[in-house]
Amino acid sequence: MCDDDIDGDARPIGSSRDIGADEHGLPLPAAVTDLRVTAAITRTDTLTATLRWTAPADAVTYTLRYSDTIIADDHWESAITVTVPFTASTPGVTEWLTVPVSYATGTVHFALKSQNTEGAWSALSNNALWPHLDVYLPLILKGYRP
């Protein structure tokens, strides 16, 4: 018997029998999908950002990271961890966190993962970024004559 499955997950997980190439893991908490930077203040070498999101079901804690590039699963570990400890609120409640991070110039990307009581981590949240860009497209009406 191998120590890991086809995805590289350790096996066996829990007391269930291992019956295939892909070990069934713990239920994952829901990922945050509405992470936003709602306010930001820049000072020499520091960006203080206020982040907002909705607490997902089953989350008990979070890990927040930031980077000067988009944060994706393949480089989550290389993004800088925000060292502010915080725990999750009741599911559906709006979470707020104000954090200072190192900043010189350019765009800062934030992403987070939540963890449940079984120790399983959620999928990566959406990226929130600062400065945010609002794009307004012109409306073109064909055949309209004032």
Instruction: List the domain boundaries for the chain.
Output: 36-130
Q: Locate 81 and state its tokens.
A: 């961890």
Cross-strand bridge partners of residue 115:
61, 121
Closest by CA position to 101, among listed 45, 36, 35, 39? 45
What span, in angstroms and rounded, lies between the C-alpha atoms of 16 and 132?
Answer: 47
CATH of 36-130, one of 3.40.50, 2.60.40, 1.10.3470, 2.60.120: 2.60.40
* Model pLDDT, residue 29: 84
CA distances from 119 to 12, 115, 122 (A): 16, 6, 10
Closest by CA position to 65, among listed 74, 52, 76, 49? 76
Show the CA angle centred on residue 62, arms to residues 16 and 35, nearest 5°: 120
DSSP 3-state assignment of 9?
A: coil
Give 122's DSSP letter.
Answer: P
* Model pLDDT, residue 86: 77
- Mapped to the 3 state alphabet, what secondary structure does 48-76 carry? EEEEEEECCCCCCEEEEEEECCCCCHHHC
DSSP 3-state assignment of 93?
A: coil
Q: Locate 60 and state its tokens.
A: 């008990």
pLDDT mean for each 10 residues of the chain (146 residues): 62 55 67 95 93 92 94 96 84 93 94 91 94 66 58
* Model pLDDT, residue 19: 58
